[in-house]
Structure 1
Amino acid sequence: MGAADFAQPAVDGRSARWQGHREERRRELIKAARKAVHTLGRDASMEDIATAAGTSKPVFYRYFGDKAGLQQAMGEVVLAQMQRKMKEAVAAATTPREGLFAMVSAYLQMAASSPNVYAFVTRLPQGDAGQQDAIAASGALGHFFESISAMMAAPMREQLGPDAETLVSYWPTAAIGMVRNAGELWLSSPDSPAKPDQQAMAGHITDWLCVGIAPRGQGRTDAAMTRTQQ
């Protein structure tokens, strides 16, 4: 056999251009759909989204398959943006707790910037609420929170050390449950003097994750007293 027998097949220029066109068109549709959901609400139908985007429903089905496919595609874009913000914030942190606060703050900021888009990419629009969360946790949208959990594990490994690897494997999942539920309750609460702002809420959640519900500093004191009494 000669060298030509092992040569890579030539790339069809027309196919490459068509693939590039499809990818660019897909990005445009995701951007338009995100804008439509932000304006119309989390329950916007595919027809509503297509109309707002200035195209037809079959076009969205052609690129995304169904509404769940559009949710996943939009979720991937939102998640990528959130991850960039988290990594930038964590890079500036000097302690694991500051890193955790930066992640929680970035998460709340993303959700608050467009509650409709957040709800659209983290839940299925129809059916029982418990079933929606089960599907979101284990199905096509599960990667959204799984990716955040993986990022949250890093500062906890630094905080707890290598001997706590088993605990670290459980902690992010439990932490995401608290961050998500507390954050969504905060997000849906009407504005009032008693409602914390985004930074304050991120601080509260970080404290709950690190030391519990006790006032800052008290958790360590109670733990020290317990060890002394043993």
Structure 2
Amino acid sequence: MVSTSDASGGSGGAVDGRAARWQSHREERRRELIKSARKAVHALGSDASMEDIAAAAGTSKSVFYRYFGDKAGLQQAVGEVVLSQMQRRIQEAAQSAQTPREGLLAMVSAYLQMAETSPNVYAFVTAYSAGEPGTANPGMAAAGALGHFFEEVRDMIARPMRTHLGTGKEAVIGYWPTAAIGLVRNAGEQWLGTPASPAKPSPEAMARQITAWLCVGIAPELETVDPKTQPLSDPNP
């Protein structure tokens, strides 16, 4: 005699189906909470509390704690979405460039434009990189989405420059992309935080200035050849 469970493929099939539906429901609910949190931070500011975010989302902060653990967990989750979108936009911008400098300008422009779209959200997902006062593991969240984002952008910057510079420049390529990321991020964040005024550069002007700093330097006319030293990239000192 065949049991009901045997005929239906075993009782485990029904359990697995319920588990899959519950998991799908949790994932959809998590996406909804991330979207709501992003909207709340955009409107309220990067220092919005979990209680403020939950109220704007029309739910309780206990729900956010249940899905994300704490505020750092929520920042990490929102960051994964926001930084993934920024990464795709930067990559798309670079693909249409004809030269390494054009590609660099396109990437810097895309980065500034995306950050400027919502400075509050950008600050929310990057502010925890140094850790917040009172957190048990300051800076740990930065090893996730934020660290991955800047690693990917660094590689995007390095590839065309390596091709352009050719052999014998590995010492430059080994350090320059990391320095470039630091310059772009710090200058960009200072620009974002600067109040609007006639003296504040437009996004286009700021992108061109940063690109010039990266490709040419701040004062190329001051460059001199010191006979006692040679560039790191020179294979024949």
Is TM more than 0.5 here? Answer: yes
Residue type at the aligned position of 2:133 = G
The CA distance in 1 between the partners of 2:184 and 2:51, in whole Å, is 33
- The answer to whether structure 1 residue 67 and structure 2 residue 71 are counterparts is yes
Return 15-24 or 104-113, whichever deviates more.
15-24
Q: Deviations over 1:166-217 (max 9, x none)?
A: 4323222111110111111111112222211001100000110111013xxx
The unaligned stretches of length 5 or more in structure 1 are 1-8
Q: Which has the larger radius of gyration?
A: 2
Matched, 1:40 2:29: no
In structure 1, the partner of 2:90 is 86
User: In the aligned structure 2, how far is the partner of 1:140 from the partner of 1:107?
Assistant: 16
RMSD after superposition: 2.7
CA gap of 1:14–1:165, structure 2 versus 1, over 3 A, is farther
How many residues align structurally?
A: 211
Q: Is the 8 A contact 1:122 1:136 kept in 2?
A: no
Q: Name 2:147's counterpart in structure 1.
A: 142
> Which residue of 2 is the match for residue 127 of structure 1?
133
1:103 and 2:107 are equivalent in the alignment: yes
Change (3 A) 1:23 1:138: closer
Q: Describe the superposition over 1:101-157 as per-residue Cα deviations: whole angstroms up to 9, x where unpaired.
A: 1111111111111111011000127439xx97x657557743332332232222322
Percent identity over paired residues:
69
Residue in structure 1 matched with residue 173 of structure 2 by the alignment:
168
TM-score of the pair, normalised by structure 1? 0.81
Structure 2's unaligned 5+ residue stretches are 1-11, 231-237
* Mapped contact 1:42–1:120 kept (Cα < 8 A): yes
The residue that corresponds to 2:160 in the other structure is 155
Higher helix proportion: 1
- Superposed displacement of residue 161, structure 1: 2.5
Aligned CA distance change for structure 1 residues 27 and 163 (closer, same or farther; 3 Å): farther
